[in-house]
Structure 1
């Protein structure tokens, strides 16, 4: 990076809340998260020089676009600052972060507010599924599918089954881990949920099939939520640290990134998948580009990962693409307990998308915020012992938009 980018504060909403049921919407979600981040960091709205917003389908769920127009009504001191909205399906928040870091690196601005938001629980489940299907190729990838994304990721699971073999017990272990981790997260959507053992098995009543091979326990959540981080360049961060009795070495920073894109349709990606090696070369490249830019050899240099478990098969696949196991062998890392919070490389100590929740436009920012808490020892009961360097991996669609960050202190 041209100059380091520091994370000097952030906030997320309670992902368990149903904001439409409370009579609230996108504005109130953004208000709570943005002003929460300003309060948490001790920053005033007048300290912010630019804003970037991650949101996927506000027009469909809420009939609302042009979200930058909310900033001045949320905090009068944000009046007049440049604001941009970014969309890349489930990776929308990470794209907003990339744009903000580029602004800081280029010395256009010294501070950036990055917020992501999605209102999703204000419509019936089938309608929500149709809206989220906007991230797939309409008419070519969506026809004949009742629930588009469970159906598409069922195709991925079945591809794994045909190529490598896959056991449901290993997918269930991923889901159980993330639900268990969420119990320690005071903002997780499922923190109070309880499950009988059969809720992770193949009992159609306790764990119904959603589409194909995807069952209820395999799925990330439909969530209302917002998350915000405040980023700063070195000069601003140093002044902020001095005011708060800290040094720059105390602050989390985004040390590097990886960003790739791939064809829209999962079928096209699987058709082109190498016979040997990683199924999704562009996902692997986003991860290894971040490693290279951070000058680290690989996952061995990480203390934890926040990754995109929109479905259990997604975490299974990403476990391999981070290098924790060879292609088709994520089950080995799962059986060894490597990805548990007490394992060699904890994955989704926050609960991830399955346990924590998945407000689409906010997810990438939530991941970055949780990574920053981990490396500064502020993750509470979700804390990974001794964490100093974390990675995030956020994907939009079926690996169409792929963004990874390294956060360290």
Structure 2
């Protein structure tokens, strides 16, 4: 069991490049903020893990474990490692930190996820991000590789179950509505006419295949960080603050599975579920946390880089039968105040998706939900949260269960 003592994120609406800032400045901002939120002194941190996809491509900078120490000199000398698993990079960094703590090697771990992606034009950014697909084997003629690949997911879903636009539009509209309540969301100040969520070729143009503009998450700069602790350290931390340890958020279950790199290869393995390993990662998390299933979950931080990703993931976590996710969305169950609120802070579409930061941000938001500190995005009575973070075309899947008692 690993405890989440606190964390921080940058404002995902910011363009760090235009500010004259980069990865170093992100780290120098988010780490002290996370330490302050967790009330953990810098000298207590014993190990660090950094999640990032493409620092080399966007900024020319590798060795981000060392960049962390350059940004926060007080961490000099601690072991620090960078992790990459496409959009699940942050979650794999979290898993590595949990393993460190659960092994007994360390008692306090810092996990940071970050990405700088708005310092270049859209086409170059799309090419850099396409490095997480199977380069030279798929999306060969696509201008934008990831919309093209997830359009193939939409087609596969359509062929199997039939795919209507209305649930996708409703999912997007809900994401942006939730983001308006999140003071750190990329799109909190955006506004849309009603026709922007529908087949309007001017307000919501096609991007690739069936996917339209508002089906797609946007490029974002940003970082997120959390402080994780062993039960021993967390117990003393809670005692010093007069806090009941049971009320401190903790990671009680996880699932982590990886499939073949190519989307076609994954779709060829479809059985009852379109992506069996995605279903397996979530059920692994349920089992390790001692949950019966999604009925024991109060709120979900769900990977929705595209609306079709969110629809597919909803079915794989068991919220709806395969092929019935659209009906669930249209019922209002996944909206704020619904039976299973999804992405109350806006998700990747509304809040933003700085790739390496997303898994860490998901954990931070899940912990805030179960601690009752999620401000305007709080789900009343949330005590068990689930995260589902996907890297690539559902290649890497990480799911976490985060709980706390009232």
Q: TM-score, normalized by length of structure 2?
A: 0.98
CA contact (8 A) 1:45 1:76 kept: no
CA contact (8 A) 2:127 2:144 kept: yes
Unaligned runs of 5+ in 2: none
CA contact (8 A) 1:45 1:77 kept: yes
In structure 1, the partner of 2:284 is 289
Alignment of 1:9-408 (within 5 A): 9-274=6-271, 277-408=272-403
User: Secondary structure of 2:100's match?
Assistant: helix
Deviation at 1:71, TM superposition (A): 2.7
The range that moved more, 185-194 or 32-41, is: 32-41
CA contact (8 A) 2:113 2:356 kept: yes
CA contact (8 A) 2:27 2:72 kept: no
Per-residue Cα deviation, 1:322-374 (whole angstroms, up to 9, x for no partner): 11111111112112111111111111111000000000000000000000000
Deviation at 1:76, TM superposition (A): 2.6
How many angstroms apart in 1 are the aligned matches of 2:269 and 2:290?
30
Per-residue Cα deviation, 1:77-105 (whole angstroms, up to 9, x for no partner): 21100000000000000000000000000
User: Secondary structure of 1:337's match?
Assistant: coil
CA contact (8 A) 1:303 1:346 kept: yes
CA contact (8 A) 2:370 2:384 kept: yes
Unaligned runs of 5+ in 1: none
Q: Post-superposition, which runs of at least 4 consecutive aligned residues in structure 1 deviate over 4 A?
A: none
How many angstroms apart in 2 are the aligned matches of 1:179 and 1:297?
31
Number of paired residues?
404
User: Secondary structure of 2:223's match?
Assistant: strand
The range that moved more, 158-167 or 86-95, is: 158-167
CA contact (8 A) 2:172 2:307 kept: yes
CA contact (8 A) 1:104 1:112 kept: yes
CA contact (8 A) 2:176 2:187 kept: yes
Q: TM-score, normalized by length of structure 1?
A: 0.98
Per-residue Cα deviation, 1:214-255 (whole angstroms, up to 9, x for no partner): 111001121000000000001111111122221211200000
CA RMSD of aligned residues (A): 0.8
CA contact (8 A) 2:303 2:389 kept: yes
